[in-house]
Amino acid sequence: MNNKRKLLAASILAGMIMTLTACGEPVDKLKPKMATRSESSSVAEEASSQDAQPADSKADESKADDSSKADGGKKQDKKEDTKKDDKAPDKKSNKKTADTVFADMTLDEKIGQLFIVTPEQIDGYDEAVTMYDDTMSELIAKYPVGGIIQMTANVTDPEQITELNKKLQGISKYGLFIAVDEEGGQVARIGLNENFDVPRYNSMYEIGSTGDTANAKEVGKTIGGYVKGYGFNVDFAPDADVYTNPENTVIGYRAFSSDPQVASDMVGACIEGFHESGIITSIKHFPGHGDTYEDTHTSGAVVDKNWDELLDCELMPFINNLDKTDMIMISHITLPNVTSDGMPASLSRELITDKLKGDLGFKGIVITDSLSMQAVSNDYTPGQAAVKAFSAGADILLMPGNIGEAMDGIKEALSDGTLSEERLNESVMKILKLKEKYGIL
């Protein structure tokens, strides 16, 4: 009997010793440590980069952290965890993914994903929208666009734009791309507004002139950080043009450099900065707008270089960053010595499908420059421009002159066989997968 008691006592003592250790670490080593200044900085940077994770993933991590805190930092016994998991509901079955969202979409909702428009283009207002009103909910249900872009006139102050973006995101059945042109320098919807207390830059050319890519990365991280705070998730930046024509009035110092390699390196670093802040990037204006005289906002523009000449200069910042950027924006310039169709780049199948997607192998999202610009709108109706751009290989159609006409044009082209539903599905899935990646489904 005494022997049994001794064995029992020894067993209890061994159990207590095991309890006082966890995964080989003494209990006092498992207590939370105060972060040093450098550790705190690393944690902040990690938190910023985690904004790009899917929302459901972040929610699950948050719950796991709370559970860990409630347990005093100790790890649960494996068997106990297994039992709890067996009883818990299967959360994965309810997770929103590109596949599950796509499966529930109507044809109109799929078509809607192809478009990014200004708020007033949805609302049909004559003036720029700066405040939410109830009619938007009805109209965004009628025209279920994939994204909204805020222009200078839509932005008045920090509270206003944050609330407007939040409201628009809230009334959409599916998560919206909420975009802005915030390059820094002369194109900055927020940075040029004196009501915003944000860092400001003279030009990207000045950043490129430093020769230090760390400066370009900091630009992306800084701009990405503040636009993220106002509810944006897409920035149509950085500018990947090469400033090769001194008489160019539309690009100029928006470019990082007149040297294609310098511009390429700066663009790559800037993209990294944006991504660290959880912002989707779209480099522009493919295949390079730096050697034009004309401004495609008001007229057509022509680049006379052939493909080999473009490869040696204008195309370099795009080619070297194809695997980094999420989107590439196609310009409306015409290239008579590259394509035979005589179409602006944004409407040219030879340039988008054959060259960019084919020869160069770009797998990301191709978005047009604004289809309201006169280089396109002078010759094509909103419906015609939308169909031609999508037929050419564009995945997202930016700012058509009339969203109703543009969506109807795509729908009619699907009905008469001009466009295939397979082609539609391909672009919609690319869009949804990017939204899933950044947690905005």
Question: pLDDT, tens digit, for every residue of 363-382?
Answer: 999 999 999 998 899 999 99
Confidence of residue 295 (pLDDT cuts 50, 70, 90): low
- Residues 209/178, Cβ–Cβ less than 8 Å: no
- Residue with the two structure tokens 């160019």: 248
As annotated, the residues of the chain forming the CATH 3.20.20.300 domain(s) are 99-437
Total residue length of the chain: 441
Give pLDDT tens digits for 49-106. Answer: 334 444 444 444 444 444 444 444 433 443 344 333 443 434 344 688 999 999 999 9
Reported confidence tier of residue 191, pLDDT bands at 50, 70, 90: very high
Query: One of 123, 291, 369, 395 is an active-site residue; which one?
Result: 369
**Range list of H helices, 128-183:** 135-142, 158-171
**Is 369 tagged catalytic?**
yes
CATH of domain 99-437: 3.20.20.300
* Beta carbons of 234 and 248 less than 8 angstroms apart: no
Residues 160-166, mean pLDDT to the nearest whole number: 98
Amino acid (1-letter code) at residue 334:
T
Distances (CA, A) of 310 to 86, 190, 356, 361, 363: 60, 33, 13, 16, 20
- Angle, CA 173 vertex, CA 169 and CA 175 arms, to 5°: 45
Which of 8-22, 88-102, 311-325 is the most confident on average?
A: 311-325
